[in-house]
């Protein structure tokens, strides 16, 4: 089978090569991959970010945003069954540590990931522990099902803290999950959603996803727009996706007194914070990591299956495995939002 792998410990260092499916052992399932999305973590692997260098053993088949059909199950597996259509939760949780025992498996102390710690889904087949498979109805398109894992992060960010219902929301950073969060916030009852980014392509999609106002921070003063649209108060909820120092500060500066700042995209380097100003404004800072298993999956599925959220505008390209490297190049050039690798072309 064809696979897209990280082969060399350098920037780039990715190639398409032949591999062999691995038969599932006890507690595992073998999935025929139908679609797999390229995400920010895959780009960090491509760029060979420091946290990947210290963790990954090469070569490694990449990809963790996966949908497909179960074709074989190992001993002891009752669910999912052969023939089930599934999406994958990317957190391989142990089920035994304290976070797992108190309903926080997404914060498992022994977390592992497909595409990082085990071979991932940029392949024709993937073998994974059965407990990370979410069963979808057969009518859900595989391209949509492949985006359910990142979509769950937007659901988590929207439902955490004070939620979004009846509140004004700033989505700062319109990558794929930020764009999803525009639609999620609207579907869950936000009264106002402002989306901010530097990329015109992403901002155009934010408008399609339902943003009440889009702001290109290179051309407009975000603070002035927020002040005008919130009668000088600031937004109730600021959700930070950009992963930049400037984005972190913009989220704090534009949130109302006593509001929520929810941090999803973490700055790659330490930044200074004036906590005297934070104390005066008194926002609540929430750190959003992954999705709550399986709480956020339930909500995410309901939003998609009910038609309240349409994820299709996020999908910018579909590429066969043989052309998988092009997806990384498109993202790096700012010409793609969410490329999907589709093994059958």
Residues 91 and 120 in one domain: yes
Residues 97 and 119 in one domain: yes
Distance CA 139, CA 116 (A): 30
- pLDDT given at position 54: 87
Residues 162 and 258 in one domain: yes
The verdict on residue 121 lying in a domain is yes
Confidence class of residue 208 from pLDDT cuts 50, 70 and 90?
A: very high
The verdict on residue 216 lying in a domain is yes
Domain count, the chain: 2
Q: pLDDT by residue (tens digit) across 290-338?
A: 999 999 999 999 999 999 999 999 999 999 999 999 999 999 998 999 9
Average pLDDT over the chain, rounded to whole? 96
pLDDT, average across residues 70-97: 98
Which CATH number belongs to the domain containing residue 62 in this structure?
A: 3.90.180.10
Q: pLDDT by residue (tens digit) across 146-194?
A: 999 999 999 999 999 999 999 999 999 999 999 999 999 999 999 999 9
Bond preceding residue 176 cis, omega within 30 of 0: no
The verdict on residue 303 lying in a domain is no
- pLDDT given at position 269: 80
Please tell me the pTM assigned to this model.
Answer: 0.96
The verdict on residue 293 lying in a domain is no
Confidence class of residue 345 from pLDDT cuts 50, 70 and 90?
A: low
Least confident of 123-127, 197-201, 249-253, 274-278: 274-278
Residues 183 and 218 in one domain: yes
H, E, C per residue of the chain: CEEEEECCCCCCCEEEEECCCCCCCCCEEEEEEEEEECCHHHHHHHHCCHHHHCCCCCCEECCCEEEEEEEEECCCCCCCCCCCEEEECCCECCCCCHHHHCCCHHHCCCCECECCCECCCCECEEEEEHHHEEEECCCCCHHHHCCHHHHHHHHHHHHCCCCCCCCEEEEECCCHHHHHHHHHHHHCCCCEEEEEECCHHHHHHHHHCCCCEEEECCCCCHHHHHHHHCCCCCEEEEEECCCCHHHHHHHHHCEEEEEEEEECCCCCCCCCCCHHHHHHHCCEEEECCCCCCCHHHHHHHHHHHCCCCCCHHHEEEEECHHHHHHHHHHHHCCCCCEEEECCCC
* Residue range of the domain that includes 88: 2-147+311-341
pLDDT, average across residues 211-215: 98
pLDDT, average across residues 109-129: 98
């Amino acid at each position: 089978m064809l696979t897209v792998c990280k082969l060399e410990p350098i920037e780039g260092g990715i190639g398409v090569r032949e591999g062999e499916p691995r038969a599932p052992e006890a507690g595992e399932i073998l999935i025929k991959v139908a679609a797999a999305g390229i995400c920010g973590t895959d780009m960090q692997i491509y760029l060979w970010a420091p946290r990947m260098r210290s963790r990954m053993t090469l070569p490694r088949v990449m990809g963790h945003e996966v949908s497909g059909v179960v074709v074989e199950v190992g001993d002891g597996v009752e669910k999912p069954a052969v023939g089930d259509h599934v999406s994958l939760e990317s957190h391989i949780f142990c089920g035994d540590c304290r976070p797992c025992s108190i309903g926080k498996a997404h914060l498992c102390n022994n977390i592992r990931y497909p595409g990082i710690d085990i071979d991932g889904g940029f392949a024709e087949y993937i073998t994974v522990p059965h407990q990370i498979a979410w069963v979808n109805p057969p009518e859900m398109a595989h391209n949509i099902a492949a985006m359910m894992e990142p979509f769950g992060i937007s659901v988590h960010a929207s439902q955490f803290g004070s939620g979004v219902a009846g509140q004004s929301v700033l989505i700062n950073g319109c990558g794929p999950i930020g764009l999803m969060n525009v639609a999620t916030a609207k579907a869950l009852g936000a009264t106002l959603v402002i989306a901010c980014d530097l990329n015109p392509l992403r901002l155009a999609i934010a408008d399609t996803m339902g943003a009440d106002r889009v702001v290109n921070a290179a051309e407009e003063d975000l603070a002035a727009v927020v002040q005008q649209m919130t009668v000088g108060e600031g937004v109730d909820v600021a959700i930070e996706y950009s992963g930049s120092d400037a984005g972190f500060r913009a989220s704090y500066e534009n949130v109302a007194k006593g509001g929520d700042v929810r941090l999803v995209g973490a700055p790659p380097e330490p930044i200074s914070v004036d906590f005297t100003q934070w104390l005066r404004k008194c926002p609540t800072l929430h750190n959003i990591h992954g999705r709550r298993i399986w709480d956020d999956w339930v909500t995410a599925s309901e939003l998609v299956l009910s038609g309240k959220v349409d994820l299709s505008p996020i999908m910018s390209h579909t590429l066969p495995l043989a052309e998988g490297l092009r997806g990384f190049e498109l993202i790096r050039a700012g010409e793609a939002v969410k490329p999907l690798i589709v093994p059958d072309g």
